[in-house]
């Protein structure tokens, strides 16, 4: 057999397997957040005294508008979250948005001690911000 015939044969055997490799989210009109949406920053700003506001900056790395949900967990009693989930966030193509997600007395909220996750719920334990339910708009 020639090299061309072997390549064609290999592709012919591999192509029927491709639909099984498509993530379930894409089959439902959603796309994986990982690689499409990025949590660029998590930080606090001082309000004076021992009071802080907490922010997250998210960015769309795709050429089309993207909707997503942010999930928050594990921030402890010193942080009051406005909601453990923020839904209905829409980012324009290659756009970003800074979102205020809570306030409190913890002056140590930053990218070094907050876990960033994609396509998974934010769990307890260590402070976590997770992007999920991404969909093209």
Q: Return the residue matching tokens 């002056």.
A: 107
pLDDT single digits (tens) 35-77 = 999 999 999 999 999 999 999 999 999 999 999 999 999 999 9
CA distance 47 to 107: 11
* Helix or strand (DSSP H, E) at 97: strand 96-104
* Whole-structure pTM value: 0.77
Strands 128-136 and 115-118: parallel
**Least confidently predicted of 5-14, 27-36, 58-67:** 5-14
What are the beta bridge partners of residue 82? none
Question: What mean pLDDT value characterizes the chain?
Answer: 84
51 or 120, which is more confident: 51
């Amino acid at each position: 057999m020639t090299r061309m015939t072997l390549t064609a044969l290999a592709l012919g055997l591999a192509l029927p397997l491709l639909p099984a490799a498509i993530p379930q989210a894409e089959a439902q009109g959603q796309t994986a957040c990982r690689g499409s949406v990025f949590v660029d920053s998590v930080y606090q700003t001082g309000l004076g005294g021992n009071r802080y506001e907490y922010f997250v900056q998210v960015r769309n790395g795709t050429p089309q508008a993207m909707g997503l949900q942010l999930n928050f967990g594990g921030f402890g009693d010193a942080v009051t979250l406005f909601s453990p989930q923020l839904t209905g966030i829409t980012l324009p193509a290659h756009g970003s948005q800074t979102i205020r997600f809570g306030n409190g007395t913890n002056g140590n909220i930053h990218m070094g001690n907050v876990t960033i996750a994609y396509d998974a719920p934010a769990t307890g334990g260590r402070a976590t911000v997770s992007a999920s339910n991404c969909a093209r708009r």
